[in-house]
Structure 1
Amino acid sequence: MNILRSYYLCAGLALALASCGTQKMVSTPVENIDKMPMKTGKIAENDLKRWSDLDLAKDTIPGMSVDKAYAELLKGKKSTKVIVAVVDSGIDIDHEDLKPAIWTNPKEIAGNAKDDDNNGYIDDIHGWNFLGDAEHENMEYVRIVKKGDDGSATYRKAKAELEKEMKEAMQEKMQVDFIMAGDKAIADHLKKKDYTLDDVKKIETTDQTLLQYKGMMIQVLGQIGSKEDFDKEIEEFKDHVYGQVNYHLNLQFDGRKAVGDNPEDLNNKKYGNNNVIGPEKKGAKHGTHVAGIIAQTRGNNKGGDGVASNNVQIMAVRAVPDGDEYDKDIALGIRYAVDNGAKVINGSFGKYYSTHPEWVHDAIKYAASKDVLVVFAAGNESYDLDTMNKYPTDSYNNQPEITNNVLIIGATAPTYGTEMVAVFSNYGKTSVDIFAPGDKIYATTPSNTYQYLQGTSMASPNVAGVAALIRSYYPSLTAAQVKQIIMDSGTTLTNKVNVGEGRDVKPFNEVSKSGKIVNAYNALLMASKMAKK
């Protein structure tokens, strides 16, 4: 993972299309899209911050046409609140832009240390934290290696993976240590920490080590821009690398000790606490961003606009640590969400090894039996999921889907053309259902801050938000119907795109099952017609 990179305003490569009439299913005839003249240039900052909401035809940005849906289909319509469970790293429920949308358990009395609703969880006012005070965790393949050689192919594969990843992590540690040493040396020489690129260029010295650091920092600052941006990114790079070495890949680290349960026993359910933020607020960054994509307040000029902010209540389910999640926590987290009224569950997490996939399978089937839609991120390793398994999902080894209530989401970038599939996104003709905006997504982060993040983790809540809108305005529709609506109503594009680590060229409509990008306008229009039937 290359974290030491700058989130620049990307060059907008979109279509100059004319807007079409009201309430037609596709914004422009698909066969005409690739024949239109291309528009190049930077996307304006205000547009980039909310590009998921924009429309390909009207705005020349391949968003989900959310603005168009609100303006033309939803204005003045009655809706009901839908509970969306965010199974993630924790959520800053005190964030100014999320507070109005946080779910409160109506059957629980806050602070009385009693399980008022008899659901097995004491004082679960806004959700439940299945990780307790744990923050960091091993990768699943490291946990497999720790159990010892059982002679299986899985053990051998996990051991090889650990050796490979540790070697890469140690190389990255050398890199980050060198960069940080260079930064300190330059700052000490200049006698200031907030130096500029010009300051570095003006350094005159015969010290060969300092000259080496000077050349490095000229190159780094030339790519990243300001020292402020560099400081943020080197801190993220350091956290990632040291997290790998100290926690994720460390055979001596026991992240589960702080939880106090037996992760191999699904019946051992009395663990965790009601602190859905988690022990460290900064550890809730991922979950807070995911929740914001769905529910940050629309139109308040703070951050971006949540897809379904006025129509949802966000239930916080903390089950994803810094490292790989446990199957037990995910299975119980899904069941908790279902039992407490969620109609949509977002899961922006995943791994490539699973010791108890059947536990999660059963939880997904339980969600299906209770008419709950589950949305999962496809993953960020540029893999073709038709050739390998990513957990969790609803179909393994190209077998039939285990249920009809799960959507697997790939990520698109804010430019139409060959790079429309985000460079990191997994894909798959049979394993990924549909794509949605996931690159350069602006949303809430802890302590009333906002940030651009990227990943299929961001694409998944965009779809969960659209699903929540459908269920809010058309509550008679089932989870299976909502899934089918989202897939059938998306915008089909026939342009060729680059995918995978090798940037293979494929037609866009062949990198997912539907061959489409989610379109909220089309989905709500189709939902209206289906609900009438």
Structure 2
Amino acid sequence: MTIKKSMVAGAIATTLLAGCGSTNILLTPEENIDSVALKVSPLTDTQLKHWSHDDLPADTIPGMSVDKAYTDIFNAIKELRPTPVIVGVLDSGIDIEHEDLKNVIWTNEDEIAGNGIDDDKNGFVDDVHGWNFLGKANNEQLELVRIINKGDDGSADYQRAKAEYDEKYNEALQNKTRYEQILQSVTQADELLQKELGKEDYTLEDLKAYKPSTPEAQAATGAMTQMFAYEDSVADLKKELKEGIEYFTDQLNYNLNKDFDGRSIVGDDPDDITDTDYGDNNVIGDREHAKHGTHVAGIIAAQRNNGIGMNGVADHVKIMPVRTVPNGDEYDKDVALAIRYAVDNGAKVINGSFGKYYSPHKQWVWDAIKYAASKDVLIVKAAGNESLDLDENNVYPNDNENNTAEIADNFLTVGALNYEYGPEMVATFSNYGKDNVDVFAPGTKIWSTTPNNGYEFLQGTSMAAPAVAGVAALIRAYFPKLKAGEVKKIIMQSGLTSTANVILGGNPNYKKPFAEASKSGKMVNLYNAMILADKVNAGKVKL
């Protein structure tokens, strides 16, 4: 998805907690951004790489006040010895050899690497750094395709899936063709303008100063000038288009291909929850498919202040990779078993940056969520990227069993923020919901780790959830006596409020108060969360 540059505008009424607790955390003054001069210039590349850690009152960017927390809180409570926290990352695989992650990867000290023996008797052989429930599989169908292939035409899911399939397939085919045509036009216009301008790399200013000498050059100039409204450079634009073509090609070849069988290579029965002897200990998997999980892991805990790359949200964290999510829809069985694996092997926070809209074995996952709750483990889950109201559309997994009350108090659903404060504050792609989304956090154009020591901007609620998982991990590190349900409430109650009417569902004509976009009506804020956690831990505040 392309991103227009930010013009921060509007006003905010922030709710900041004041007071100190048992650890002498500094007072937090009441602040109101109405009194702050708002930025009106586009964010630089450096600012974009860091915006999710910024402070809204100081920077007028709806970040999580991460730097402020480290400067004003963590430096002030150095006498506390935080308890290391394991964060289970259920995802596509993680490059555990990445320069910014290798020192924060969980190691199972009770397992002897490479001896082919289940030393710790946990049911997984040589799971030194986690487990891979996908084996060598990478691509998968969408769940609706699997439902159609099973042919249970009497079920409601079958009828709905069948009705949706043709629309999705035709949409993917049309989008692939459209992206290919745009890329061809951009490439031709770019080649012409390189010759006309006498340079390979040119800017919007170059185009504005250029006087076309032919109708073809004039058309190319007009087309590329429009493109610069969406990307910083022609190279970035081509990259976006190529990734779009790849995405829709994968949909046609794998996700929506009724004849594709991605599971047979795994060697299990995905409809039998008791068939658990599958998978392996290769938590990276295919590096090409590990980008998403590696990016998520970096947001949570890329090694801080090591002089390279970027800083994750959380210090004192170990990342437990659990490879669960293919290119396509995950299987309910893998999700349920992955949650249980993370819980049984010491994770206190689990991040789930995935989701789907059909779930044949949803009860298995609900049971796993309840199991995690019984073991005091918090699950942080991405809300999804389809611009939908989750009060009207179910995305799985969720904690809303059969549309009743929440099944447990340990499940936190996160929507995505854009870096502009004001009407465009909610990311255009983000799902939302007054009852079924709990909070919002930064999720647009997030800079983080990618395989082979790379770094890249990605976006989605997939990026917002791990930011919150990092906040949860820090709370649990410094205040280990707080329960998962308390950590969830602290994160929800300590966030920043906003008076803005925001665009929801990416529709400029549909606006609601930000307070109605989620259950808490707030943006996650690490600085405030630590202060409230301190007060709750000291018994000065009851949730």
Partner amino acid, structure 2, of 1:294: I
SS in 2 for 1:350: coil
- 1:294 counterpart = 2:300: yes
Where do 1:75-154 residues align within 5 Å? 75=75, 76=78, 77-154=80-157
The CA deviation at 1:33 is: 4.3
- 1:265 counterpart = 2:272: yes
Q: Which of 513, 528, 533 pairs up with 1:527?
A: 533
Aligned match of 2:164: 161
Q: How many Å separate the matches in 1 of 2:429 and 2:28?
A: 28
**Is the CA contact 2:304–2:311 (under 8 Å) kept in the aligned structure 1?**
yes
**For residues 258-295 of structure 1, what are the alpha-carbon distances to aligned partners after superposition, in whole Å with 9 as ceiling and x for unaligned?**
1111100011111111111112x121111111000011
Deviates more, 1:443-452 or 1:230-239: 230-239
Partner amino acid, structure 2, of 1:430: D
Aligned match of 2:6: 10
Aligned match of 2:344: 339
The CA deviation at 1:377 is: 0.5
**For residues 380-426 of structure 1, what are the alpha-carbon distances to aligned partners after superposition, in whole Å with 9 as ceiling and x for unaligned?**
11111111111011115652100011100111111211111111111
The CA deviation at 1:305 is: 1.6
- 1:386 counterpart = 2:391: yes
Cα–Cα, structure 1 residues 431 and 189, in superposed 2: closer, same or farther, change >3 Å?
A: closer
**Is the CA contact 2:144–2:165 (under 8 Å) kept in the aligned structure 1?**
yes
Q: Which of 313, 316, 323 pairs up with 1:318?
A: 323
**Is the CA contact 2:17–2:28 (under 8 Å) kept in the aligned structure 1?**
no
Where do 1:337-486 residues align within 5 Å? 337-396=342-401, 398-486=403-491
Q: How many Å separate the matches in 1 of 2:187 and 2:527?
A: 52
SS in 2 for 1:173: helix
**For residues 173-205 of structure 1, what are the alpha-carbon distances to aligned partners after superposition, in whole Å with 9 as ceiling and x for unaligned?**
22233345556767999999x955799999999
**Residue segments in structure 1 that go unaligned for 5+ positions in a row:** none
Cα–Cα, structure 1 residues 33 and 340, in superposed 2: closer, same or farther, change >3 Å?
A: same
Q: How many Å separate the matches in 2 of 1:222 and 1:56?
A: 26
The CA deviation at 1:42 is: 2.1
Aligned match of 2:40: 40
Aligned match of 1:502: 507
Partner amino acid, structure 2, of 1:392: P
Partner amino acid, structure 2, of 1:61: I
Q: How many Å separate the matches in 2 of 1:231 and 1:274?
A: 37
Q: How many Å separate the matches in 2 of 1:48 and 1:181?
A: 29
Q: How many Å separate the matches in 2 of 1:323 and 1:197?
A: 38
**For residues 73-110 of structure 1, what are the alpha-carbon distances to aligned partners after superposition, in whole Å with 9 as ceiling and x for unaligned?**
21213211100000001101111011110001111111
Cα–Cα, structure 1 residues 290 and 101, in superposed 2: closer, same or farther, change >3 Å?
A: same
The CA deviation at 1:526 is: 1.3
Partner amino acid, structure 1, of 2:285: G
Q: How many Å separate the matches in 1 of 2:281 and 2:463?
A: 25
**Is the CA contact 1:407–1:433 (under 8 Å) kept in the aligned structure 2?**
yes
The CA deviation at 1:46 is: 2.9
Cα–Cα, structure 1 residues 202 and 273, in superposed 2: closer, same or farther, change >3 Å?
A: farther
The CA deviation at 1:21 is: 8.7
Cα–Cα, structure 1 residues 203 and 163, in superposed 2: closer, same or farther, change >3 Å?
A: farther
The CA deviation at 1:240 is: 0.3
TM-score by length of 1: 0.90
Deviates more, 1:387-396 or 1:493-502: 493-502
Q: How many Å separate the matches in 1 of 2:251 and 2:27?
A: 47
- 1:285 counterpart = 2:291: yes
Cα–Cα, structure 1 residues 234 and 27, in superposed 2: closer, same or farther, change >3 Å?
A: farther
Q: How many Å separate the matches in 2 of 1:513 and 1:383?
A: 15
Aligned match of 1:228: 235
Q: How many Å separate the matches in 2 of 1:340 and 1:196?
A: 51
**For residues 155-189 of structure 1, what are the alpha-carbon distances to aligned partners after superposition, in whole Å with 9 as ceiling and x for unaligned?**
11101111100011111122233345556767999
- 1:173 counterpart = 2:180: no
Cα–Cα, structure 1 residues 185 and 454, in superposed 2: closer, same or farther, change >3 Å?
A: closer
**For residues 42-98 of structure 1, what are the alpha-carbon distances to aligned partners after superposition, in whole Å with 9 as ceiling and x for unaligned?**
234333212222211222222111112112221213211100000001101111011
Where do 1:186-265 residues align within 5 Å? 220=227, 223-265=230-272
**Is the CA contact 1:28–1:57 (under 8 Å) kept in the aligned structure 2?**
no
Aligned match of 2:23: none
- 1:63 counterpart = 2:69: no
Aligned length: 522
The CA deviation at 1:150 is: 2.3
**Is the CA contact 1:346–1:375 (under 8 Å) kept in the aligned structure 2?**
yes
Q: How many Å separate the matches in 1 of 2:279 and 2:365?
A: 19
The CA deviation at 1:529 is: 1.6
The CA deviation at 1:300 is: 3.5
**Residue segments in structure 2 that go unaligned for 5+ positions in a row:** 21-25
Cα–Cα, structure 1 residues 188 and 453, in superposed 2: closer, same or farther, change >3 Å?
A: closer
Q: How many Å separate the matches in 1 of 2:310 and 2:211?
A: 40
Q: CA RMSD in A?
A: 3.0
Q: How many Å separate the matches in 1 of 2:307 and 2:335?
A: 35
**Is the CA contact 2:192–2:220 (under 8 Å) kept in the aligned structure 1?**
no
Q: How many Å separate the matches in 1 of 2:50 and 2:391?
A: 32
**For residues 483-516 of structure 1, what are the alpha-carbon distances to aligned partners after superposition, in whole Å with 9 as ceiling and x for unaligned?**
1111111112222111114342111111111111
**Is the CA contact 2:298–2:312 (under 8 Å) kept in the aligned structure 1?**
yes
Cα–Cα, structure 1 residues 20 and 460, in superposed 2: closer, same or farther, change >3 Å?
A: closer
Q: How many Å separate the matches in 1 of 2:219 and 2:284?
A: 43
The CA deviation at 1:520 is: 0.9
Q: How many Å separate the matches in 2 of 1:270 and 1:318?
A: 15
Deviates more, 1:163-172 or 1:503-512: 503-512
**Is the CA contact 2:13–2:497 (under 8 Å) kept in the aligned structure 1?**
no
TM-score by length of 2: 0.88
Q: How many Å separate the matches in 2 of 1:8 and 1:419?
A: 11
SS in 2 for 1:480: helix
Partner amino acid, structure 1, of 2:524: V
